[in-house]
Amino acid sequence: HQPRLLFMDEPTVGIDPQSRRNILDSVKQLNRQGMTILYTTHYMEEAEELSDRVGIIDHGKLIALGTQRELTRLVGQWDTLRLHLSESDDVAPLADGLPTLPEVLQATALDHQVALIVPDTHEALPPVLSRAVELGYKVRSVDIEEPNLEAVFLHLTGRALRD
């Protein structure tokens, strides 16, 4: 029997970590084989790992549906880029100049780093790095923080995660 659709209702509740990993790996394998899986969970990290599309249900009503990226944009959640600069650099001029790029919504100067709010990390990173180099800064490293589904859930429901 090879069903095209599988319903799984909170399959990892109350199980040990090894069994949980086995279930998650099996779900991914079934999906790669072409099976559609309707997977319910309260664990947002599972939804992020497994899902192409996510529906958020609150009090029995579907309140949002889309890809993780679509849902985070729906509620105004953006990526954060953190540029770690040389300790000798004065980061304020860079933070002041980066919002002139169309890919940057906001820039904040911190201790030896600049935190940038951007709609899309992949589009923003090349021009941001180019501008930093043009202005004579040495970027030591870059951290990328993408919004997660827990932030979306809390924004949409106004409440903490619950059963």
Q: Show which of 49, 73, 97 is a domain's final residue.
A: 73
92 and 68: one domain?
no
Number of domains the chain is built from: 2
For 81, counting Cβ atoms within 10 Å of its Cβ (0-12 exposed, 13-18 middle, 19+ buried), the class is: buried
pLDDT at 4: 94
CA 84 to CA 115: how far, in whole Å? 9
Q: Is residue 162 part of a domain?
A: no
141 and 82: one domain?
yes
Q: Which pLDDT tens digits describe the chain residue by residue (163 residues)?
A: 788 999 999 999 999 999 999 999 999 999 999 999 999 999 999 999 999 999 999 999 999 999 988 998 877 778 889 999 988 778 999 999 999 999 998 899 888 899 998 988 889 999 999 999 999 999 999 999 888 888 888 888 876 555 4
Q: Is residue 159 part of a domain?
A: no
User: What CATH number does the domain containing 9 carry?
Assistant: 3.40.50.300
Per-residue burial over 99-133, b = 16 or more CB atoms within 10 Å of its CB, e = otherwise: eebebbeebebeeebbbbbbeebeebbeebeebbe
60 and 25: one domain?
yes
92 and 63: one domain?
no
Q: Is residue 39 part of a domain?
A: yes
82 and 101: one domain?
yes
pLDDT at 163: 47
- Domain span at residue 114? 78-145
